[in-house]
Amino acid sequence: MRYVSTRSAEPGPGLPFCDILLDGLAPDGGLYLPQSYPQLSAETLTGWGELLESDGYAAVAFEVLRLFVDDIPDADLRAICERAYAVGTFGDPVVPVAPVTGDLWLLKLSEGPTAAFKDMAMQLLGQLFEYELERRGRTLTILGATSGDTGSAAEYAMRGLDRITVFMLSPQGRMSPFQQAQMFSLDDPHIINLAVEGVFDDCQDLVKAVMSDAAFKATHSIGAVNSINWGRVVAQVVYYVVGYLRVHAATGAERVSFAVPTGNFGNICAAHVARMMGLPVDALILATNENNVLDEFFRTGVYRVRSGAAETSSPSMDISKASNFERFVFDLLGRDGVRTAELFGPTLLERGLFDLSGTPEFAAVRDRYGFVSGTSTHADRLATIAALETSDGVVIDPHTADAVKVARDLRAELAGPIVVTETALPVKFSATIVEALGREPERPDAFAGIEDLPRHVLDIPADAGVLKAIIADRLG
């Protein structure tokens, strides 16, 4: 398996997995994807279902990942998966499913150390980084941006790893108090939190600016932990496979749909990859909040970047530039790297949008790629949280509520079970839960008093020069 950039003019021989794992962003500014997607047979899925039942999540993770990774020996990759997805880290079983009213199923992804679905990828990424850096005798500087949960999941996965230093950018005041506390309470010399004046898009732009400076990136061995890193996306492919297998085993349904709340298109990009591999998925239901750039595209064919993201009660989706969307558009355009580079480079810079509405490619979005979409508002989130607690005794976080709301809106158009990807435990967004239910959400003992811990964070302007100076100074 070799990997190419979404902006490559010529396919070329491609790069192996471990090279792109450490690189993150391609030198031409594009994102890495496999040259082709491996294909799943019915027999393979049947075998994986039996393996999941007998050996658990880590065993299936190994089988999925080995389709994409051929430069790590099988024995080593299996051990990496077993360490990443230990029952002691995620509970037993890892990633269960639970039915709720309306032929919906919750794919429970928030049982990890930071109570968010990002743990599912970050725990694996930490193990992969540690393995490959040790093998190469290298160190790595992780530069990331977070709108909420990526930061804490990355920091908890990378802390204590001697060969890694993490610089994590977050928008000042835009995350929930719990999310801020999870990150800023960490006291580790290799974890540096930087709160940026602006919104998440400003943080993401800073990461891309630094990553695009090839000399600076090489000098300071800078890699990515955001979902621009293919390692994040492929790790998430695993739980779509597992979600399908669990719901298929429980219902006998041959096909399912997935409802995914998204702002940066990372989570649903993994679902897209799984579907392209042949996982029996009917629809991919994309749910946005009021920052509905992606919903607008899938309804109209127009991708229009906003001047800034609105602040909402599902803050991890407060994004107006969906960096992973480029991967899907590359596939949509028949893997035309020149055309993809034009759309995400000069066209967006000059016009702030691109329009595929009249193209044959966009006409095939639903039939070929399965995408449907919808938007949820603050009032919708409150109503959905309250309704699900009343009907099923289940309390969900506001991002998951966005997905449930959109899934229910589209329920009549779709056959078979709909699997909603849970994003976080409700405690991370207690103010919204109180508004919806009139009471605080349950708080696991591990998070007692976290908001009262000392904070370790530096406020900075949205200036790439300032960020580079801080990185250079901290790394010596």
| Per-residue model confidence as pLDDT tens digits over 342-378 | 999 999 989 999 999 999 999 989 999 999 999 999 9
- Tens-digit pLDDT profile for residues 415-437: 999 999 999 999 999 999 999 99
What's the pLDDT at 227?
78
Which residue in 118, 208, 217, 428 is the catalytic one? 118
Is there a catalytic annotation at residue 405? no
Position 125 scores a pLDDT of: 93
Domain ranges of the chain: 97-112+231-437
* pLDDT value, residue 400: 98
The residues, any chain, with a CB within 8 Å of residue 418's CB and separated by 6 or more, are: 102, 103, 104, 105, 256, 257, 258, 259, 285, 407, 411
Q: Smallest Cα–Cα separation from 238: which of 270, 264, 266, 260?
A: 270
281 φ, ψ to 5°? Answer: -110, 130
pLDDT of 146 reads 87
| Cβ pair 147, 316 in contact under 8 A | yes
Per DSSP, the three-state class of 457 is coil
Pick the CATH number of 97-112+231-437 from 3.40.50.1100, 3.40.470.10, 3.30.930.10, 3.40.50.720: 3.40.50.1100
Q: Which residues of 212-246 are buried (b: 16+ CB within 10 A; e: fewer)?
A: eeeebbeebbbbbbbbbbbbbbbbbbbbbbbbbbb
**Cis bond upstream, residue 93 (ω within 30):** yes
How many alpha carbons lie under 13 Å from residue 453 in its C-beta half-sphere? Answer: 18
Among all chains, which residue has been given the structure tokens 């599912």? Answer: 120
Q: Can you give the pLDDT at residue 176? A: 85
CA 292 to chain centre: 17
171 forms beta bridges with 196
Name the stretches of the chain with pLDDT < 50.
none
Contacts of 247 (CB under 8 A, 6+ apart): 97, 105, 253, 256, 417, 419
pLDDT for the residue 162: 86
The pLDDT value recorded for residue 177 is 87
